Amino acid sequence: MSVPAFIQPVVDADAAQQSLQHRRFDRLRRGLAWPGRYLLGRAPRRLMRHMEILWLPYYHVTFLTRTQKGRQSTANLLINGQDRQSTFWDLSQLQWISRPDQQRFEPRLSETEALDIARQAMFQAGIQNCSWTRGPNDWAADSIQLIHYPYWVAYFEYRNRRLDIALLDAVTGQLTGPAGKVTLLAALSQKTEMGVR
């Protein structure tokens, strides 16, 4: 397996905390505008108890593409090492660090599984691009590398002691939504299983 690399965060801790707290406040404010608030009373207060940065595993796969006219280019895919999701994304403008101090997770997928997913994604993209004529098994990856992508993770506690988490992309500054929670919980579950063995 290739040596993992780590993408350097663009969003610092102060900016991440401000974004996460403001987003939560906006949701709370919208909730108070609901007419049923008079029956239910005040919405439960949510406090940020802790925030940390974590690196989740992805496979960065590149393919060399050639059109029927002979023009060549490179396609870059990120394959989520936990939930098998794929996305086209050029990482050439990002900075890299050799080793983070914070926690990182290992992928559930192997390189072979990631390559299969990447080839299927390229085939699906080729269906929409008439200039690509290869089948799903004809795509040979130019390179594959295990990378770790940074996320700010905030842990919230409600007034009724219920806990919640929120993930902020440490590169784009965008909240990940429910999909990010699922990925993190899968990574935590795998780490717990590995610790028990």
Half-sphere exposure of 140 (CA within 13 A, CB side): 1
User: Rounded to the nearest 5 degrees, what angle is found at the Cα of 77, between the Cα atoms of 16 and 143?
Assistant: 120
Bridge pairing between strands 5-7 and 141-158: parallel
- Is the backbone of residue 125 left (phi > 0), alpha (psi -120 to 50) or beta? alpha
Q: How many distinct structural domains can be found in the chain?
A: 1
pLDDT lower than 70: segments of the chain? 1-4, 23-45, 66-70, 100-102, 127-139, 191-197
d(CA 24, CA 100): 28
Contacts of 193 (CB under 8 A, 6+ apart): none
Return the residue matching tokens 């900075």: 95
In a domain, 117, yes or no: yes
In a domain, 37, yes or no: no
Question: Which residues span the domain enclosing 16?
Answer: 5-32+43-196
In a domain, 74, yes or no: yes
In a domain, 96, yes or no: yes
pLDDT at 192: 64
pLDDT at 26: 47
In a domain, 179, yes or no: yes
In a domain, 38, yes or no: no
In a domain, 86, yes or no: yes
Rounded to two decimals, the pTM is 0.76
Half-sphere exposure of 45 (CA within 13 A, CB side): 3
Q: How far is CA 41 from CA 15, 25, 37, 164, in A?
A: 32, 17, 5, 21
Q: How many CB atoms lie within 10 A of CB 6?
A: 18
164 with 156: CB under 8 angstroms? Answer: yes
pLDDT at 195: 52
pLDDT at 150: 92
